[in-house]
Amino acid sequence: MQASEIRRVMGVFAHPDDPEFFCGGTFARWAAEGAEITFVLATSGDKGSSDPEMTGERLVAIREEEERRAASALGVKDVVFLRYADGELQPTLQLRRDIVRLIRLKQPDIVVTCDPTVFWFGNRALNHPDHRAIGEAVLDAVYPTARDRLNFIELQRDEGLEPHKVKDVYICGTDTPTVKVDVTDYVETKIAALREHRSQIADMEAMAERQRSNRDPESPPDMPRYMDSFRLISFDR
């Protein structure tokens, strides 16, 4: 889909800070190009702290506010929290229904989510189980559930939400990317958004350096480029 055709985007992730870390540059670019973007966070990250004095309730408030500020830095105005328990996410029918409801309500052209098939990243990291769970739930919500009227018929009958067919799914955090989005002009915007996640990032300058050093290996040394990589699923128009 050409940038000029992108009107509505929905990014569905597990935790506050996932949209920024996984592909914040892409969201910043699309927002700058005029797309209306909604972030949907399945959890509010209520387990993400090593502070012995922190409570889950306090952390929810902190991380939701951090995510709202980070989204705003990217140009994203709409943030929805489903408030499932952090660390316990499962691709249940209830979660799928909640996502289908939002897809039918917002009618995105593009949905962005995580790859549910990735369990680890080389030898350096394990993938969070919530990332896998949200990816599976989102893909099942997009196809066929949001498309077919008789799935969760109460959404149409009681709320007037008509079926919706998503055009493209961008799957991030994947081992098998098929497309790249050039985000060279938006690296600093991504870093500015990540700086809002103060409860999660201990060393902001080290984070910024990691982002700036993550250049596209195919770009020339004297003209580095930055790319977000995705597996793109495009449905018949």
Asked whether the beta carbons of 15 and 43 are under 8 A apart, the reply is: yes
pLDDT at 237 over 60: no
- 1, pLDDT greater than 60: no
- What's the rounded mean pLDDT across residues 161-180? 98
Q: What is the structure's pLDDT at 221?
A: 86
Report angle CA 178, 183, 184 to the nearest 5 degrees: 125
What fold, for 3-234? Rossmann fold (3.40.50)
Q: Answer whether 228's CB lies under 8 Å from 23's CB.
A: yes
pLDDT reported for residue 229: 98
Reported as a pLDDT band with limits 50, 70 and 90, residue 197 is very high
User: For 120-158, what is each residue's pLDDT tens digit?
Assistant: 999 999 999 999 999 999 999 999 999 999 999 999 999
Q: For residues 104 and 30, what is the distance between their CA atoms, to the nearest angstrom? A: 21
Tokens standing for residue 38: 């909604």
CB contact at 8 A, 56 and 88: no
pLDDT confidence of 3, banded at 50, 70, 90? low
pLDDT band at 222 (very low <50, low <70, confident <90, very high): confident
Q: For strands 125-126 and 120-121, give the pairing.
A: antiparallel
| pLDDT tens profile 7-47 | 999 999 999 999 999 999 999 999 999 999 999 999 999 99
Quickly state the pLDDT bin for 236 (edges 50, 70, 90). confident
152 contacts: CB under 8 Å, gap ≥ 6: 97, 100, 101, 145
Q: What's the confidence (pLDDT) of residue 30?
A: 98
Rounded to an integer, the average pLDDT of 61-65 is: 98
Asked if residue 82 lies in contact with residue 42, where contact means CB atoms within 8 angstroms, the answer is yes
Given a contact cutoff of 8 angstroms between Cβ atoms, the answer to whether 16 and 41 are in contact is yes
Length of the chain: 237
For 34-85, the DSSP string reads T-EEEEEEEE--TT----TT--HHHHHHHHHHHHHHHHHHHT--EEEEEEEP
DSSP 105-161: HH--SEEEEE-TT--EETTTEEPPHHHHHHHHHHHHIIIIITT-TTTTHHHHHHH--
Res 2: pLDDT = 55
Mean pLDDT of the chain: 96
